[in-house]
């Protein structure tokens, strides 16, 4: 079922599909070209004025590129590593080593599934404690061998099930936050879809944090926020607006370093163009960060996150 923001585009898409499937000819090709231009213009108009709730729906779009798509589009010779060496492997978090423009790097990221079987296998992109422990194991290996870390965030949040809680979900996330803050190699974080609470933050303590234009990043989902505040998850659009979860909002607050434009209609309409846009940003940031000595890198990272508690000219102190 199409989302509300897609409704103005459906009629044009249907016309194009019908024309393309019928008899050809110069007149038909000319009309197809006109309709495609009209659709492109309409997409630009619609996606330039999306509400925060509509951006949330775009971030969740089932055709949006997932982590393994970015692996195939940006990296070569990817070798996946499995298991946390304590309990099990977690398919919701994919980790390993690859080459980025002939430079060896570590890559970690949430992976959602396309069909029902894959969604169940990947637990809908919601990691359990063993997933976060696996990610940290790979990041520690990257530090040992002086390899930069590139992280991809796209999760509704950490898995809230009883088994995850029994195995120390909160501790696993908290431990990752502390350890990532002290890693002596560059860390580049890319929020490509949903950035859900601690489930996202556990692999998102980085020197540079990028967000795709229509991605979202928040402490709780709009539905969860609405259910808590008003006991009515149907008020999610209102909550999304109040929570300031969009890339532009977070960049204004200094929580995101760079907002990466998406193709008209979102990343799912032209994944190759999205890969190229992200590629240019990662390459420039990696060049900048690898020039810094480890001590300067760690100090800048600490200062970056320390200033996230900055409000009205004063630091917020906790007791």
Q: Closest Cα partner for 4 from 74, 68, 77, 57? A: 57
Angle at 153 between CA 63 and CA 134, to 5 degrees: 120
Spatial neighbors of 9 by CB under 8 A, at least 6 apart, are 39, 42, 43, 46, 265
93 class by beta-carbon count within 10 Å (0-12 exposed, 13-18 middle, 19+ buried)? buried
pLDDT score for 210:
98
> In whole angstroms, what is the distance from residue 284 CA to residue 100 CA?
12
pTM score of the predicted model = 0.89
Helix (H, G, I), strand (E, B) or coil at 260: strand
Write down the pLDDT at residue 37. Answer: 81
The confidence score (pLDDT) of residue 3 equals: 62
Residues of the chain with pLDDT under 70: 1-3, 21, 24, 309-319
24: left (phi over 0), alpha (psi -120 to 50) or beta: beta
Beta bridge partners, 209, equal: 189
Q: Which domains does the chain have, with CATH numbers?
A: 8-49 (no CATH), 56-309 (3.90.226.10)
- Of how many residues is the chain composed? 319
Give the sign of the dihedral formed by CA 198, CA 278, CA 58, CA 243.
Answer: positive
Judge contact between 243 and 225, C-beta under 8 A: yes
Nearest residue to 106 (alpha-carbon basis) of 187, 182, 174? 187
Structure-block tokens of residue 151: 């992280």
pLDDT at 310: 65
Report the distance separating Cα 153 and Cα 59, nearest Å: 11
Which three-class secondary structure string do you get for 101-135? CCEEEEEEEECCCCCHHHHHHCHHHCCCHHHHHHH
For residue 142, give both structure tokens: 């990257």
* Integer Rg of the chain from CA: 21
**Sign of the C-alpha dihedral, residues 72, 76, 77, 78?**
negative
Query: Of 228, 159, 237, which is closest to residue 198 (Cα–Cα)?
Result: 159
DSSP for 184-233?
SS-EEEEEEEEEEHHHHHTT---SEEEEETT-EEESS-HHHHHHHHHS-G
Phi, psi dihedral angles at 16 (to 5 degrees):
-65, -45
pLDDT tens per residue across span 8-45: 777 777 778 777 767 767 777 888 888 888 788 888 87
């Amino acid at each position: 079922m199409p989302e509300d923001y897609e409704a103005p585009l459906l009629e044009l898409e249907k016309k194009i599909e019908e024309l393309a499937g019928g008899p050809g000819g110069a007149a038909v090709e000319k009309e197809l070209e006109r309709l495609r231009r009209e659709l492109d213009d309409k997409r630009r108009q619609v996606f330039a004025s999306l509400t925060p709730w509509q951006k949330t729906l775009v971030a969740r779009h089932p055709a949006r590129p997932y982590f393994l798509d970015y692996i195939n589009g940006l990296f070569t010779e990817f070798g996946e590593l499995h298991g946390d060496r304590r309990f099990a492997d977690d398919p919701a978090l994919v980790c390993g080593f690859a080459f980025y423009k002939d430079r060896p790097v570590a890559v970690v990221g949430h992976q959602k599934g396309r069909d029902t079987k894959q969604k169940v296998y990947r637990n809908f992109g919601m990691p359990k404690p063993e997933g976060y422990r696996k990610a940290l194991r790979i990041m520690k290996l990257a530090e040992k061998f002086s390899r930069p870390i590139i992280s991809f965030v796209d999760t509704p949040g950490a898995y809230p099930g009883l088994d995850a809680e029994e195995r120390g979900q909160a501790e696993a996330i908290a431990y990752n936050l502390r350890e990532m803050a002290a890693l002596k190699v560059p860390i580049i974080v890319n929020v490509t879809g949903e950035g859900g609470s601690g489930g996202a933050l556990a692999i998102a303590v980085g020197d540079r944090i990028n967000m795709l234009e229509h991605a979202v990043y928040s402490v709780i989902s709009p539905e969860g926020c609405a259910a808590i505040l008003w006991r009515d998850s149907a008020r999610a659009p209102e909550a999304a607006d109040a929570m300031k979860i969009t890339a532009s909002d977070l960049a204004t607050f200094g929580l995101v370093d760079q907002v990466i434009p998406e193709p008209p209609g979102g990343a799912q309409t032209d994944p190759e163009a999205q890969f190229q846009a992200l590629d240019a940003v990662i390459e420039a940031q990696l060049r900048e960060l690898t020039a810094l000595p480890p001590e300067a890198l760690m100090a800048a990272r600490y200062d970056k996150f320390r200033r996230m508690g900055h409000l009205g000219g004063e630091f917020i102190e906790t007791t």
